[in-house]
Structure 1
Amino acid sequence: MKKIILHKTKDKAAWQLHPWIFSGAISQKDRDLQSGDLVSVFNADREFIAYGIFNSVSRVAIRLLEWHPERVPDADWWRTRVKKAVEARRHLLNDQNNTCRLIFAEADFVPGLIADLYGDFISIQVHAAGVDQIKHLIVDELVQLLAPKGIYERSDIKSREYEQLADDNGVRYGDTPPEYVEVVENGIRYHINIVEGQKSGFYCDQRENRRLVAQFAANKSVLDCFSYSGGFTLNALQAGAAHVTSVDSSALAISTLKDNVQLNGFDTSRSTPVQSDVNKYLRQLGEEGQKFDVIVLDPPKYAPSRSTLEKASRAYKDLNRRGLMLLESGGLLATYSCSGAMDIETFKQVIAWAALDAGKEIQFIHQFHQPEDHPVRASFSEGEYLKGLLVRVV
């Protein structure tokens, strides 16, 4: 096995079980190292730290896997990691819920790999070159554990560029997913598009938050922004919302949402899907003097890195200001950020600024988090990306 030695002052995070080593931390490495090679990592005194996967082109030069020298990451090691991740989530699957995240990359010690279960199908995404080389093992173990009808890869994410990996989409096992795969979450049925939908097909990280927000929706007017296939919309309708307006810029998302409303037998007169840029539509609603009882703001990632946090904060503030202006006293705003670079305290400050600009007094009455199938590893705080606030206008 090839060896890598770290600079004397650059080994602290690795000893503390952080799974990333950046290229600048490397002091020496064996010749002819190739991206995807399994390596042994040592400190400057030649003490073993961990095994990892090397990448010659990525800023994250090594993704650490195992800190016990006797546990060499071979095929059985990978299979055991996959099995542990899947078994930890089996209790989430029942007749009310047949979708969840099966593997959450570094959090499950399978760096650079995401696997989501959608009913009879599994969708995977591969972010790292080393894992790309052994994904056949992961696919085979998922087949052994869950016997899906098919496994489809959606590796067309921007992060692959940093590993010099081309997009790679296609069937990895079994059948090609149909145009719409039916799943159940919180007892609500969804048609989702694995092949052409956003990300891996569906955002199961908001499962618990959709149910929590729906508790406030009975007999209320709800505005669901960035609605995608209708997660918050459908939960609100199931809870007895008087009316839900759902806004998304994607024609496919709005079409899927309409289908999901009908799929669950909800009264379509209680639902108004709108294809529009959200900020533009919020501005229009403000000019018309429209008001709502509950507003959901679940935007895409505004801050992909810390260097973009200042710009993202301004975007979050403006978005939430427009939302707050559509609420009267007693109105509720459920607002989210899926940007890992945005911590919860900064997000609170941004919302406070938005309220000040909107001329609203607010209270924070609940904090939202990602669910247990998106765990946060103690040594990898970067995995805590989803946060949200339930805000009441006083």
Structure 2
Amino acid sequence: MIKEYRQWFNRNYSESLYQQYLQALDSQYPGAIEFRVAETPVFVGRDFKHKMLDACEAIIDVITQDNFTAITDAAIPAEWNIPGSQPYSHFMVFDFGVCLGADGLPEPQLIEMQGFPSLFGFQSYMAAAAQKVYAIPGTLTTYLNGHTEESYLQLLRNIILGSCQPEEVILLDLFPHRQKTRIDFYCTQHYTGIKPVCLTALYSEGNRLYYTNENGQPVRVKRIYNRLIFDELEQQLPEVKAKGALLHEQLEVEWIPHPDWFYRVSKFTLPYLQHPYIPATSFLSDLLAIPDNLDQYVLKPLFSFSGRGVEIDVTAEMIKRITDRHNWILQRKVEYAPVIETPDGPAKTEIRVFYFWEEGKARPVATHNLARLSKGKMIGVSYNKRETWVGGSLAFFEED
């Protein structure tokens, strides 16, 4: 979106450089990246960056209100009301589509948010590879609020580990070595020392949580860096789903972040937000009448992941068929702008801003990002796989 950097990158790009980039990403963990990596980073100017962060801070204003947990208690499914709840989410992410404003200039529009970790390890790894292979100018950085690679990774370690030793902390997911995001798990292990562990490997003795390591020894778990999506657990075989009962026990374990926050900071929160860069959103159950201009809206289930269940071409009949309207939102549709010039046609992009909340701090702080490029209706690394210059990427911001 910074024209001179886009032209510079496109002018100097070659397929050979892209292959070097892919090889650099694949070198430390061969075969661990299943999703498509885009050929290019996104170059973001100061004005757009500040617009995006202004919207983020408006969301944080709502999240830090005294009544936020009371407002969002209804977001937590009864079957996943896990003990050990905490007063804040250690990690949050905010997704913005890059659109055009009334002035014809790029502007962010909030698409979604999560009180949940993202590819925090991999994006730092990716940033270093892109910087080196593509010789990105030093006036640009993927980090925010003055963070560097070193300070970012130190903050990540501090939050994940707390006062524990790495061997007392696990990265929890379902079958982590099969996940499409496993490259991030391996990067996180490299940067923090914690191991990815499957839910099915956990067991309790009294109020303590354990798993058995590769040497057959029991290892006590004191802290969980949570990457487990309960929506995914619900789709497993009965014997795997049954392992979820373990999480309902009163265990001496800390969650980073607690599963509550996946639901509290989510699509459920969107109707409570008002900002020029946050599209108007309503619970379907609050609608007094179905709008006539449904082509300007998108319909989303509250409890889904990776875009499952999202309806872009909404009809009145579709809405009338929904019986659990309190579990759906109708959001003003935003028009992604094809602002990324590529050799075979322009691409759209979405930028995810990472927020970290350090213990003892009044507010979380923006630290880093990821980006996704698309040439189709849907944004995400699972879509338009046959296209080029699409897929997972990251934004380099113009420094202040």
If the length of structure 1 is used for normalisation, what is the TM-score?
0.26
Greater Cα radius of gyration, structure 1 or 2: 1
Higher relative contact order (CA 8 A, sep 6+): 2
If the length of structure 2 is used for normalisation, what is the TM-score?
0.25
